Amino acid sequence: MQNIIVALDAMGGDFGPQVTVPAALRSLLLFPELKVILTGDQTAITSKLSLLVGCGTYPRLSIKHSDKVISDSEKPSLALRHGSESSMAMAVDLVANDFANACISAGNTGALVAISRFKLKLLPGLEQPALISTLPTALGNKTWMLDLGANVSSSPDSIFQFALMGSILAEQHLGRLPRVALLNIGSEKIKGNHLVKHAAKMLYQNKLVNFIGYIEGNQLLYDAADVIVCDGFLGNICLKVCEGTAQLFMDKLKLTLVGSSLRTWIAKKIFSGLFAELQTLNPDQYNGASLLGLNGVVIKSHGGANVLAIVNAITEAVYEVRQKVSTHITDRLKSVLCERHY
Amino acid sequence: MQNIIVALDAMGGDFGPQVTVPAALRSLLLFPELKVILTGDQTAITSKLSLLVGCGTYPRLSIKHSDKVISDSEKPSLALRHGSESSMAMAVDLVANDFANACISAGNTGALVAISRFKLKLLPGLEQPALISTLPTALGNKTWMLDLGANVSSSPDSIFQFALMGSILAEQHLGRLPRVALLNIGSEKIKGNHLVKHAAKMLYQNKLVNFIGYIEGNQLLYDAADVIVCDGFLGNICLKVCEGTAQLFMDKLKLTLVGSSLRTWIAKKIFSGLFAELQTLNPDQYNGASLLGLNGVVIKSHGGANVLAIVNAITEAVYEVRQKVSTHITDRLKSVLCERHY
């Protein structure tokens, strides 16, 4: 079995080593072929490690010290200029220099995108990278959605390239040509702004992507498409709207399970399965969005991720390295974009 | 008691007279001061009326015949040019010519906006009208959100004006200066695209609006602001994402209430109150978005509205006429925009 080396920015996100260190340990127990390099403050990481598994060295876990952390409020351009010694940049560097197969950070999205673009470079012909992740659906399937916020604005050309990248990635999972749709305010052809109309025109004329047209916001979780494409500003906000609404419903439902009355006891007995099913419908449960379009695997985790969510992000990284997702997309994209089929 | 005359486009929406006629009858029973003018196909309307309450004339209900219906796929520009005899345009005309105090349509949104702008005219100083409606919140309050799709793109100036209109409307309901927020991909000042950054700058410099900054998509239903402002493309899609997610949870929950087993009986006993509460959290339950910024009251209903939803839209129209919402906004806006406080 070939080793998979993941560089994990231990300082990123709201909780830093408090969640990244136990998540790394848990992942090492889950994947025997995994090695983790934690980048960040050595003292904080070692202290958390000691607390959890005692002092000493561990063969599959190493630390690369950095005393600089990029804050969430730091501008991407400044992070790029002054953040080369940060825990985040170090994690990306390890991939760029082939010391790791993938890197993960729960830190500042803009900074991660800027640093990754700079260090790993965009694939030839691409305009922008895109963050992609899956949404759960009513029928228990998955729908891939991109861009979830790698960029705040995009051109029709970029939207077309997102559709292409999303289609290639989903095809690897599904084993068939995925149905690709553009998110819009209506399903009729006359609807939408300049960006979606122009991108739709390119997608309709193209034979590489199975473009099924526009879908509306209320179809997001209803298996209407395998890949949903939109610009990063819209995608990021829509995903969060989805998560917020799901969270509100779960919060209200959980209230019926609080307490020690007979009513609560019966509710717990009978509806635990239902609650578990509903829980899986919250996109927030799925952590780890891939930054597609670069020469290397970069996974962005939620800022507020807990231990389990970071483990999910590491699992996604392991999957992508195992399946050579990045290489596959790179090869397909290279041939497509160089031949300029569209 | 002063009469309130509402012109209702009987042909708009997915179901036409099948829902608009019974909704008109139900509203007449609810509001003694209400008169309804139904615009649309006389035969279809009369036939539905006969079926429901028998042949004859009714003192507070009249019909204005039109045999033209604007379809959902018609371009707004074409609807404006060729649709002057349509049921929708007739309803707006009745307001423009002071034969009605408000009009309602469940038809093509783009066409309704174009026709309303043309016939009722924008208030002086305004760049665009905006669709506004309320969202339910976790604490049982309301949050106003605009623009929900009157426009597919807007300038920072327009966004600022939406904030101002939304603030004036919400203040009338709340009796205090509302907290106004811009929807964005993050709460930090550095986040966002050109549009929100520019609009935020104008709002921070202004003293007429209590601007509290950016909010993210997951805070939509969590009482984070009284008024949430965004462009119409984003607003329309976010509202539908919210509705779709809420619907999915309700669908799954309802499955536990189907059947006649003991489990179902217990579920009904335990969850009936909860279901009712959750149902109120679906924004889809609230029908009737106001088109703000025009010389007259125009209410847009969902295309898929049922009888109860159309009644809700009529109720909103009655409320706005009673409270002179339009006049109040007009007066405040006129003074503000003419004085150019910003």
Main-chain phi, psi angles of A276, to 5 degrees: -65, -40
**Residue-level pLDDT at A233:** 97
Which residue has better confidence, B261 or A100? A100
Please report whether residue B342 resides in a domain. no
In the A/B pair of chains, how many CB contacts fall below 8 A?
157
**Residue-level pLDDT at A178:** 97
- Rounded to whole angstroms, the Cα distance separating B203 from B213 reads 9
Query: In terms of CA atoms, which chain A residue is nearest residue B234?
Result: A234
- Rounded to whole angstroms, the Cα distance separating A27 from A38 reads 13
Percent of chain A with pLDDT over 90: 67
Q: Give me the helices (H) in chain A, please.
A: 17-30, 42-53, 76-82, 87-96, 109-120, 156-174, 194-205, 232-255, 262-280, 307-322, 325-339
> Do residues B185 and B252 both lie within one domain?
yes
B111 lies in which domain range? 1-125+294-324
* Burial readout B87-107 (b: 16 or more C-beta within 10 A, e: otherwise): bbbbbbbbbbeeebbbbbbbb
> Do residues B66 and B84 both lie within one domain?
yes
Percent of chain A with pLDDT over 70: 97
Asked if residues B107 and B310 have their Cβ atoms less than 8 Å apart, the reply is no
> Do residues A230 and A145 both lie within one domain?
yes
> Do residues A276 and A135 both lie within one domain?
yes
Question: Of B69, B76, B63, whose CA–CA distance to B16 is shortest?
Answer: B69
Contact with chain B for residue A309, Cβ under 8 A:
no
Q: How confident is the model at residue A96 (pLDDT cuts 50, 70, 90)?
A: very high
Contact with chain B for residue A217, Cβ under 8 A:
yes
B162: domain CATH number is 3.40.718.10
- For residue A39, give the H/E element and its range: strand A34-40
Pairing of strands A210-215, A142-146: unpaired
Asked if residues B270 and B112 have their Cβ atoms less than 8 Å apart, the reply is no
Contact with chain A for residue B223, Cβ under 8 A:
no
Contact with chain B for residue A254, Cβ under 8 A:
no
- Grouping H, G, I as helix, E, B as strand and the rest as coil, residue B34 is strand
**Residue-level pLDDT at B339:** 59
- Rounded to whole angstroms, the Cα distance separating B253 from A287 reads 25
DSSP result, B259-290: SSSHHHHHHHHHHHHHHHHHHTT-GGG---EE
Pairing of strands A179-183, A34-40: unpaired
> Do residues B200 and B284 both lie within one domain?
yes
Interface of B with A in 111-130 (CB under 8 A): none
Contact B185 A281 (CB under 8 A): no
Question: Of A131, A77, A89, whose CA–CA distance to A294 is shortest?
Answer: A131
* Burial readout B141-158 (b: 16 or more C-beta within 10 A, e: otherwise): ebbbbbbbbbbbebebeb
Cα-Cα-Cα-Cα dihedral of A122, A126, A129, A133, to 10°?
A: -120
Per-residue pLDDT at A90 exceeds 60:
yes
Show the tokens assigned to A164: 């292409």
Please report whether residue B341 resides in a domain. no
> Do residues A117 and A45 both lie within one domain?
yes
Please report whether residue B277 resides in a domain. yes
> Do residues A215 and A277 both lie within one domain?
yes
Per-residue pLDDT at A172 exceeds 90:
no
Per-residue pLDDT at A224 exceeds 90:
yes
**Residue-level pLDDT at B279:** 75
Show the tokens assigned to A113: 């995108």
> Do residues A105 and A159 both lie within one domain?
no
Q: How many domains does chain A have?
A: 2
Show the tokens assigned to B295: 């010389």
Contact with chain B for residue A183, Cβ under 8 A:
yes
Pairing of strands B4-9, A130-136: unpaired
- Rounded to whole angstroms, the Cα distance separating A46 from A51 reads 8
Provide the ipTM.
0.91
**Residue-level pLDDT at A340:** 55
Residue matched to tokens 């985040």:
A88
pLDDT < 70 regions, chain B: 283-285, 337-342
Query: In terms of CA atoms, which chain A residue is nearest residue B238?
Result: A238
Nearest-Cα distance to chain A for B214, in Å, is 12
Please write the tens of the pLDDT for every residue from A323-338.
Answer: 888 788 888 877 776 6
The overall average pLDDT reported for chain A is: 90
Query: Residue A329: CB partners within 8 Å, gap ≥ 6?
Result: A165, A168, A169, A292
Please report whether residue B163 resides in a domain. yes
- For residue A136, give the H/E element and its range: strand A130-136
**Residue-level pLDDT at B284:** 67
Q: Taking CB atoms and an 8 Å cutoff, what residues of chain B touch A240?
A: 216-218
Please report whether residue B32 resides in a domain. yes
Question: Of A154, A159, A329, whose CA–CA distance to A229 is shortest?
Answer: A159
> Do residues B5 and B147 both lie within one domain?
no
Which residue has better confidence, B258 or A52? A52
**Residue-level pLDDT at A341:** 47
Question: Of A59, A53, A65, A43, whose CA–CA distance to A22 is shortest?
Answer: A53
Per-residue pLDDT averaged across A18-29, rounded?
Answer: 96
Query: Residue B29: CB partners within 8 Å, gap ≥ 6?
Result: none
Residue type, A204: Y
| Through-space distance between the first and last CA atoms of chain B, rounded to whole angstroms | 40
Q: List the single range of A11-20, A196-205, B69-78, B332-341 with lowest mean pLDDT.
A: B332-341
Q: Taking CB atoms and an 8 Å cutoff, what residues of chain A touch B153?
A: 193-194
> Do residues B233 and B266 both lie within one domain?
yes
> Do residues B156 and B300 both lie within one domain?
no
Show the tokens assigned to A283: 């996109």
Task: Give the number of other Cβ atoms within 10 Å of residue A297's Cβ.
Answer: 27
Q: Which residues lie across from A297 on neighbouring strands? A: A102
Chosen from A195, A241, A280 to mutate, greatest number of chain B CBs within 10 A: A241
DSSP result, B242-258: HHHHHHHHHHHHHHTTS
Show the tokens assigned to B324: 């002179």
Q: Taking CB atoms and an 8 Å cutoff, what residues of chain A touch B138?
A: 248, 251
> Do residues A211 and A232 both lie within one domain?
yes
- Residue spans of beta strands (DSSP E) within B26-85: 34-40, 61-65
**Residue-level pLDDT at B340:** 55
- For residue B300, give the H/E element and its range: strand B297-300
Please write the tens of the pLDDT for every residue from A246-303.
Answer: 988 888 887 777 777 777 777 777 777 777 777 777 766 678 899 999 999 999 998 8
Q: Which residues lie across from B142 on neighbouring strands? A: B136
Asked if residues A327 and A101 have their Cβ atoms less than 8 Å apart, the reply is no
**Residue-level pLDDT at B341:** 47
Per-residue pLDDT at A146 exceeds 80:
yes
| Through-space distance between the first and last CA atoms of chain A, rounded to whole angstroms | 40
**Residue-level pLDDT at B324:** 86
Contact with chain B for residue A269, Cβ under 8 A:
no
Chosen from B240, B252, B257 to mutate, greatest number of chain A CBs within 10 A: B240
**Residue-level pLDDT at B338:** 64
Per-residue pLDDT averaged across A220-246, rounded?
Answer: 95
- For residue B126, give the H/E element and its range: none
**Residue-level pLDDT at A342:** 45
Please report whether residue A333 resides in a domain. no
- Rounded to whole angstroms, the Cα distance separating B70 from B88 reads 7
Contact with chain A for residue B98, Cβ under 8 A:
no
